[in-house]
Amino acid sequence: MRSSRKLFTLLIIIIFNLQANGQGLPKQLQKLALKPDYIEVINELEINLKGGHIQGLQGYHWQQEEYVYWSGSSDSYAYLITGKLSNNIETTRLHRLSEKPLKHAGGFQIYQNWLAIGVEDNEARDRSQVHIYQLNNPNEPLPAPVAVIDRHGPFEKMTAGCVAVVQRENELLVAVGNWNTRNLDFYEASLQGQDYDFIKTGAIEVAALSRKNWSDTTWRSYQNINFYQEEDQLYLLGFASENPARDVMDIFSVETSEGHQYKLRKIGTRFFASSPETSFRWGAGIWIKDHSISVVSCTEKLKINSRISKYHLKTP
């Protein structure tokens, strides 16, 4: 096991501590550039900006072109926004996911052509749904979800503030974080057949979580969570903001055993200084292209002109 710590005190401060044991993901994350590139966003869509904000950001590839999806909330509906990337990003479609009271869309993930997102009642905080989509042409309206997971329960317990998704052989695995990510629930569905019947297969209560052999014992209120599958190893990345000046990405290895017992082990943390306009507090996530990983973040609201930040791998 190798532990590496480097401290850069510049305009941007990044602290990275990984118990790396040689796997590709930790090595790629070590190579992320200190400063992000900015991609300008032009938006001419009419979006309800009252009572809500952006909370998720993901990239999607379709016929050798790149697209961007944002998730957002308002005082009347939850939504996704689609944009096309060229020299800048031009938004193309507003997709209304659900109406009030399920007007709050959380952090989400796109894995290949799977999109999983939670919508919740952020006032009563006792109900949510997780919508799973199989994406196709991003220039067309969003298709109907292939599955919907209904969640009901005590105050804040069954909300869906952040969702991750990954395909593992013939199964789809979804993780759902509730209010302030105090709990993680896991759902699985077989992809063999036409119906995707998601069954709850595990749960983690963070307060009772064993933190033995963790790189550190801190668990944060994650706005976004993303799975990353590397050969036989599954990772979970959590994105949060500690204060207006600093963003943080925590890296966990995920282990499963017979009976679907999910175990998390924290293997590293990386801090990023927020840019003046973008922050992990609003939307953040991994962006994968040609097996290369970047980290992106966005602004609080998608106005006529805004931007996203993209932390690329450093070039040799």
Do residues 106 and 117 lie in contact, with contact meaning Cβ atoms separated by under 8 Å?
yes
pLDDT > 90 fraction of the chain, expressed in percent and rounded: 73
Residue 23 or residue 152, greater confidence: 152
pLDDT of the residue at 24: 75
Least confident of 7-11, 14-18, 111-115, 220-224: 7-11
Whether the per-residue pLDDT at 285 is higher than 90: the answer is yes
Q: What is the mean pLDDT of residues 132-157?
A: 96
Q: Which of 242, 241, 273, 245 is nearest to 13 (CA)?
A: 273
Q: Note the pLDDT tens digit of each residue in 183-208.
A: 999 999 999 988 899 999 999 999 99
pLDDT band at 8 (very low <50, low <70, confident <90, very high): very low
Output the CATH code of domain 3-311.
2.115.10
pLDDT > 70 fraction of the chain, expressed in percent and rounded: 91
Q: What is the mean pLDDT of residues 112-118?
A: 97
pLDDT of the residue at 23: 52
pLDDT of the residue at 315: 60
Do residues 284 and 58 lie in contact, with contact meaning Cβ atoms separated by under 8 Å?
no
Whether the per-residue pLDDT at 39 is higher than 50: the answer is yes
Q: Give the integer Cα–Cα distance in Å for 24 and 29.
A: 9
Question: Peptide bond preceding 26: is omega within 30 degrees of 0, i.e. cis?
Answer: no
What lies within 8 Å, CB to CB, of 59 at 6+ separation is: 66, 67, 68, 69, 85, 110, 287, 288, 289, 296
Least confident of 29-33, 154-158, 266-270: 29-33
What is the average pLDDT value for the chain, to the nearest integer? 88
pLDDT band at 250 (very low <50, low <70, confident <90, very high): very high
